[in-house]
Structure 1
């Protein structure tokens, strides 16, 4: 029996290695012959790391067949953008997430096809796309167009950058190199925005981090406080009682200076508060729509949208069940209902069952999902009951730049514990975890089943 894995990110490589090392036939379809460490892209964009690429030949089990192409449609066979088709016994949908439409990517197309995903929404990306052919050296600014270097400059067309995929990160790095004195406005204070702001500030750049709401959890509040101490301007954008745009800095908010009322879900546009009176998170439409523009207070600023990711349209185009964001819907065994030959793992998949609301998009989620998808296929082949997926978390790691980090210990349901490791020690732990992700992938190719993860918040043992 042969399993075809669509995508070569964290979930895809883990699934492929676990199966191949167990003696199963495996084919991986991905647009380029390299793996992209998504957790390193903020450092690539900031110029502190030359590349986030790792050759797949260094990660994949030697018996895995690698096909450098893009899947255009999933049916009884896999239709590839090159015009070829692939037969499969079982397929694992592990395409991951990518840059939103409208973000600067360094080319005409706005979807990342640089090795983490086995799919793009349009046929031009199917052979690897322009982005996949550029920057083979990883050098600063290599392979990006002049338009990309100017992206973020008012009046030049594309004005919003991203670091949600490799092409976008490289375009931002080129723009930063082209305009070394320009300040940067980062919109969104999630993990991506915080890590990018810290990295850029550590390199001496003037950075303004804009968030639509005051963080509630201790960890994010501590992270923002650390950025403020490093010199990052952190603002919550609100609307005053008179309806005019207003903002308060972190110090003023800590004194209770922020007034309640509507907040902005992107800089320059207001959204009413929720019924509970708290600030709503940026909407999926805001994060994905190319028509939404993030306007900096400083017209010379380079703008980065760190409010979220987008998902490929492959599942919907193939007639598979999806949610409103385009994520493939699977059951508790990670199998598509009514389509037992197709499983899903990673960011572009949502488990449509009770008890999984604590899952977050992260490599800490993608790796166990990839391993479990492989376990389901092995269980079927061996006539064993199909296991139900369960995942608990242990910690959340954040890079704050200049060798500093914040490691928040969490309960299995991802709620915070009292303990956190910060400063240089936190930075060392963060780097160790980043290196371990690659080690877990390669070790699985040598010793299948060696990768394990924490138990879920409540027992989900049994068969699906």
Structure 2
């Protein structure tokens, strides 16, 4: 490994976990434009005006054989095994770990990209909310975990704002009946107006157009869907129809085995578990596995089983849902302060686990 040129693209949960493990016994080049780690599962807190928790990448890679190149990858030459950067530099590799993750998907909705705040702009949204009129209306589009956490956090932090959550399906539909019922109770307690089975067809400065008519809003937050970064498909890696790279049981690209793909960018199917969903819960274990693989600490196929799902519901409530290893729901939940404390503990453990 000491003679191998190992390049990791992306400094998210998967990329950093890979780099710090592989960097224990070899030299790794980590390419990412950020100076600080973006803790994506805390973006709802940032949007609500709470202090950001973004440790410096230099602290996270300290003591490892990792060189951080602050640049953005603009292209991959899979034949020449070279990464092209926006700085004009070309970085060669023997082994590439592709961990560019995912980004907000607008799904072709007219005006969404122009008039809605994606979660990537959480800090900007927080500043806008700080100066918003007290009676403003905020529409959160998306009934998944991100949308639920945003709606509850904003409602609690800004009680005079009118918060609406708009979901194409049912809000929290994947939870058990008890889990979804608790989410709806909290939304009701916080005064969040719920619009379910409502498809957004357009966004403009005055709100949303939907299949059920107009939904007025002074601000729109978009948390409806995520999509993988397109660079993998553009470079020629084999990808699914949704753009995620197809990998083998060691997380190597099926078309280019010198390229490992981890995190949201990878379409990973584990026997007995199924195809893994996007998220920190799956990205970090993938990165840890590939880092250990490159360091010679394992040669076994990647294995993964789910344990829990959890969401924070403001500062004083949360939901911890026990699940089976294949991500299906069990009937057991923990709510209130217990659920919130469990979610906080999980969030806190993520940073230490990156190393």
TM-score normalised by length of structure 1: 0.67
Describe the superposition over 1:303-347 as per-residue Cα deviations: whole angstroms up to 9, x where unpaired.
122111132211112111112222222112100113121001001
Give the Å deviation of 1:355: 5.4
Structure 2: distance between partners of 1:37 and 1:197? 19
Q: 1:304 aligns with which of 207, 221, 234?
A: 221
Instruction: Count residues in correspondence.
Output: 334
Q: 2:236 aligns with which of 319, 324, 328?
A: 319
Specify which structure has the bigger relative contact order, considering alpha-carbon pairs within 8 angstroms and separated by 6 or more residues. Answer: 2
Q: Does 1:331 align with 2:291?
A: no
Residue aligned with 1:334, SS: coil
The aligned counterpart of 1:376 is: 293
Q: Does 1:397 align with 2:310?
A: yes
Which aligned pairs between 1:59-458 and structure 2 lie closer than 5 A?
59-62=60-63, 63-75=65-77, 76-100=81-105, 158-163=114-119, 165=120, 168-181=121-134, 182-203=136-157, 204=159, 205-214=161-170, 215=173, 217-218=175-176, 219-237=179-197, 264=198, 266-268=199-201, 294-295=208-209, 297-351=214-268, 357-379=274-296, 386-442=299-355
Structure 2: distance between partners of 1:423 and 1:77? 50
Structure 2: distance between partners of 1:99 and 1:268? 16
Structure 1: distance between partners of 2:260 and 2:244? 13
Q: Does 1:58 align with 2:59?
A: yes
Does the aligned pair in 1 maintain the 2:268–2:275 contact within 8 Å? no
Residue aligned with 2:19, SS: helix
Q: 2:20 aligns with which of 17, 20, 43?
A: 17
Does the aligned pair in 2 maintain the 1:102–1:160 contact within 8 Å? no
Residue aligned with 2:263, SS: coil
Does the aligned pair in 2 maintain the 1:102–1:158 contact within 8 Å? no
Give the Å deviation of 1:301: 2.9
Structure 2: distance between partners of 1:29 and 1:216? 35
Q: Go from structure 1 to structure 2 and tell me whether the alpha carbon gap of 1:323 and 1:162 turns closer, same or farther (over 3 Å shift).
A: same
Q: Go from structure 1 to structure 2 and tell me whether the alpha carbon gap of 1:352 and 1:321 turns closer, same or farther (over 3 Å shift).
A: farther
The gaps in structure 2 that reach 5 residues or longer are none
State which drifts further: 311-320 or 30-39.
Answer: 311-320
Give the Å deviation of 1:68: 0.4
Q: Go from structure 1 to structure 2 and tell me whether the alpha carbon gap of 1:213 and 1:338 turns closer, same or farther (over 3 Å shift).
A: closer
Structure 1: distance between partners of 2:68 and 2:165? 41
Which aligned pairs between 1:28-43 and structure 2 lie closer than 5 A?
28-43=30-45
Larger radius of gyration: 1
Give the Å deviation of 1:79: 1.4
Residue aligned with 1:307, SS: coil
Structure 1: distance between partners of 2:246 and 2:169? 30
Residue aligned with 2:246, SS: strand
Structure 2: distance between partners of 1:392 and 1:354? 10
Q: Go from structure 1 to structure 2 and tell me whether the alpha carbon gap of 1:355 and 1:73 turns closer, same or farther (over 3 Å shift).
A: farther
TM-score normalised by length of structure 2: 0.86
CA-based RMSD of the aligned residues comes to 2.6
Structure 1: distance between partners of 2:245 and 2:331? 35
State which drifts further: 350-359 or 71-80.
Answer: 350-359
Residue aligned with 2:295, SS: helix
Does the aligned pair in 2 maintain the 1:5–1:27 contact within 8 Å? yes
Residue aligned with 1:53, SS: coil
Q: Which has the higher strand share?
A: 2
Q: Go from structure 1 to structure 2 and tell me whether the alpha carbon gap of 1:333 and 1:356 turns closer, same or farther (over 3 Å shift).
A: farther
Residue aligned with 2:236, SS: coil
Structure 1: distance between partners of 2:340 and 2:248? 37
Does the aligned pair in 2 maintain the 1:329–1:352 contact within 8 Å? no
